[in-house]
Chain A
Amino acid sequence: MSVKKKFKGLSDKAVGWLFIGPTVLLLLAINIYPLVYAIKMSFTNFYANKIGREPQFVGLKNYIKVLNKEAIWEKMQVTASFMFWTLLLQAIIGLGLALLLNRKFKGNELLTTLIVLPMMLSPAVVGVFWTYLYNPQVGLFNYVVNFFYDLGSFDMIGSSILAPWAIVIVDTWMWTPFTMLICLAGLRSVPNYLYEAAEVDRASKWQQFIYITLPSVLPFLLLALLFRGIENFKMFDMVVELTSGGPGSATELASINLKREAFEKWKTGYSSAFAVILFVTIFGFGNVYVKVMNKIKER
């Protein structure tokens, strides 16, 4: 036990609770309570638009329905391939840019700021203005593509083959700077003496890259991908405004489907079950990923 100090005013313990209390209470009220509520609803046949009808307990029926629905697995596949391509592209381009920026040339900081701009913008608004760039008649994107390689008329948003790539391109444009920044932080944290020692040992530049640079930046890259992975699993706003899940359901990510079930069809019970499944999926994958990441870090 530490010696109790005599100071004026409230005790440290009281101040501590006073300071933490409001935050914890707010999180409980606006975050945890709704989550518990959603879990409760997921076992009922509740419809939020039918006020006055008592919801009935239906057990695991909603969960069974969600997991047996083929359409849900299609959405999961769409989400998975969206995540795979965005994370892959953002890892490669982001790391590449970070390696280049780490050479500390003149104007470095200003260029970093300019490159970072897209990730500061509102995803929904970004989605809207890309519909203009992708417009098959007048879009700048189509014009530039045709300028370099004549494809004729093509519709990035209207074609079910191209639309998944349309959202991958926009997400990559927007969020590559994030991976870049975190990788850059990783590169700057590598102590110089490692390279000095390698030079003394006559290691080639390539060997230095493989044995020093890559291992030290890898944990940072993995962390960036974890954040991006969580965000893209929840992806809603940009894609809703860009393709609204279409054409058909070619870009209907899990969150978009969830919104349709919850706020258009008002199947509260069913959509709550789906939400809980999504939530458990993020948590599960996130946990496994963090464990793997920590193992890599330990090596």
Chain B
Amino acid sequence: MTMSTTKVKKMLFILSKATIENVYAAFIMANGARMEGIEAEIFFTFFGLEAVQKKRLNNLHVATVGNPAMHIPTMVGGLPGMEAIATKMMKKEMDKLDMPPVDEFLEILSASGVKLWGCKLAVDMFHLEEKDLIEDMDGILTIGDFYNRADKDGTQMLFV
């Protein structure tokens, strides 16, 4: 009755996108894992690295083009300023639900014991240095290193 009955012991997330909906999906799932006593780690690769770049992380946008769930025509979604408007609206709704902004969410994740890794290949490709990334990063890894983080039974890996 007391312990969690889930067979999932560790969640490894690969975050490859920088749109708000994807970043928050990974963050909420990682935080939710920790709150259930499950280990969680996030590997930031390609555009996902925007979510841990000091200069970029608070300016992430929702995708208004090629996103049918936005219920606005693609042509309209591509007009100047549309992404900013949609993002502002979504942030307002998220605030109502007490969802933290990206920087605060990263602090929560790190304090909760979620390991945050940068992808070596993507860091090199975008000419980033460690000083460009938030201080809470646990390091830069190759994908091989990240696979080695799946070191126990009940580990799941999820690509976002």
A complexed with B: no
